Amino acid sequence: MALQCGIVGLPNVGKSTTFNALTAAGAESANYPFCTIEPNVGVVVVPDPRLDALSAIVNPQRVLPTTMEFLDIAGLVAGASKGEGLGNQFLGHIRQVDAIVHLVRCFEDDDITHVANSIDPLRDIEIIDTELILADMASAEKRYNSVVKKAKSGDKESKIQADALEKVIAGFNAGKPMRNLDLSKEEQATLAELFFLTNKPVLYLCNVSESLVAAAQTPGSHALVDQVREHAKGEGAEVVAVCGSIEAEIAELEGDEKAAFLEDLGLHESGLDRLIQAAYRLLGLQTYFTAGVKEVRAWTVKQGATAPEAAGVIHTDFQKGFIRAEVTSYDDFIACKGEAGAKEKGKLRLEGKEYRVADGDVMHFRFNV
């Protein structure tokens, strides 16, 4: 199953607006069969300028970008961890995603209600984090109570888990999400089966007003976004600033029109493109390419995937019968103007089962079934 990024935040901060812009951008890309799996799950095209450069060399019949999935999650309110609002349902949706885009309202607009009646991104972030921590705390304590007895009776595995749980419970009590705790590999491993919400990787998405979207891109020009940047720095998280409502309009445009519109706004690229790329990295994903005359195509693999695993993304037979991969790094492929040139200059490598795919590799698989 494809990995998913969930858009999480307080009610009415612009989650659906951003989600709709993301999926509209996908629908726009006419050569990709757009689909919505469920009303709130969107398949989004991962923009990649390298596809254009490869196509200019190979001149294929068609070009296919790779995709990722976003989930539009209803607003989380204070008390959700106690079942407030649609609490449990929201938390269930968050549990299902692999990474979180935490959307924070940074735009002023008196016509649009804020659940807490004022614009204060750091307070908002804390409300969400607190609910997620409380939900994790409940599952941690429940497990701790059952596992601690076994630990006392001498069960080694239980002892390891109980100790790790004590550590995270202390962290939760101090208001720290699990992702910010200093845990060993062993502690991470024993806690994995609990699927803690606060262990998911997070990036912050600041939803700013149209008039300040250009300024928001540079640190020091948007006080609220700067606050979020400072907070994110403390946990090594990325921050992206967009104007959700204007992104929907940008997504409708293409080519020169899009470029002109972006320039009017003082932007170089669409915020959604930056968001998608950041979310893709957040999920631990990378891209490799196949480049034939029929099709130039981007494929998604986990960072650290081996060549046979990459082959398996195309077809399970490619993985089962994997013999070797012919690999040219993206830069070499471009510099040598294609596969033939790369071969001549000795830049086309033969790689075996152990090879770890690098982002941008142009690959060709040899297999036997």
Which residues contact ligand ATP by CB under 6 A? 9, 11-17, 74-75, 107, 109, 112, 207-209, 243-245
Bridge partners (DSSP) of residue 101 are 7, 203
Q: Is 12 annotated as a binding residue?
A: yes
Q: Is 337 annotated as a binding residue?
A: no
| Residue 244 binding: pick among Mg ion, ligand ATP, none (C-beta 5-8 Å cut-off by kind) | ligand ATP
Residue nearest ligand ATP, CB atom distance = 75
16 interacts with Mg ion by CB under 5 A: yes
| Residue 243 binding: pick among Mg ion, ligand ATP, none (C-beta 5-8 Å cut-off by kind) | ligand ATP
Q: How far is the CB of 12 from ligand ATP (least distance, A)?
A: 4
Q: How far is the CB of 72 from Mg ion (least distance, A)?
A: 6
Task: Report residue 366 as tokens.
Answer: 């040899």
Please, which residue, 37 or 112, has the CB nearer to ligand ATP?
Answer: 112
Q: How many residues does the chain have?
A: 369
Please, which residue, 74 or 148, has the CB nearer to ligand ATP?
Answer: 74
Token pair 């101090």: residue? 174
Please, which residue, 223 or 293, has the CB nearer to ligand ATP?
Answer: 223
The SS3 assignment for 33 reads coil
Q: Is 14 annotated as a binding residue?
A: yes
The SS3 assignment for 127 reads helix
Burial class of 284 by CB neighbour count within 10 A (0 to 12, 13 to 18, 19+): middle
Please, which residue, 269 or 295, has the CB nearer to ligand ATP?
Answer: 269
The CA-to-CA distance between both ends of the chain, in Å, stands at 24
Q: Is 296 annotated as a binding residue?
A: no
| Residue 11 binding: pick among Mg ion, ligand ATP, none (C-beta 5-8 Å cut-off by kind) | ligand ATP
Q: Is 221 annotated as a binding residue?
A: no
29 interacts with Mg ion by CB under 5 A: no
In angstroms, the CA 40 to CA 19 distance is: 8
Token pair 């142009």: residue? 362
| Residue 312 binding: pick among ligand ATP, Mg ion, none (C-beta 5-8 Å cut-off by kind) | none
The SS3 assignment for 91 reads helix
Q: How far is the CB of 12 from Mg ion (least distance, A)?
A: 8
Please, which residue, 13 or 305, has the CB nearer to ligand ATP?
Answer: 13
Bridge partners (DSSP) of residue 44 are 68
Using alpha carbons, select from 205, 358, 202 the residue that is nearest to residue 274: 205
- Size of the residue set binding Mg ion (CB under 5 A): 2
- Choose the binding region for Mg ion from 7-15, 55-63, 168-176, 244-252 (rule: CB under 5 A): 7-15
Using alpha carbons, select from 45, 42, 5 the residue that is nearest to residue 238: 5
DSSP secondary structure letters along 134-203: HHHHHHHHHHHHHHHHHHHTT-HHHHHHHHHHHHHHHHHHTT--GGGS---HHHHHHHGGG--GGGS-EE
Residue nearest Mg ion, CB atom distance = 16
Bridge partners (DSSP) of residue 207 are 105, 242
20 interacts with Mg ion by CB under 5 A: no
Give the burial string for 95-119 (b: 16+ CB within 10 Å, else e): eebbbbbbbbbbbeeeeeebeeeeb
| Residue 125 binding: pick among Mg ion, ligand ATP, none (C-beta 5-8 Å cut-off by kind) | none
Binding residue numbers for ATP: 12-17
Binding residue numbers: 12-17
Binding residues (CB under 5 A) for Mg ion: these are 15-16
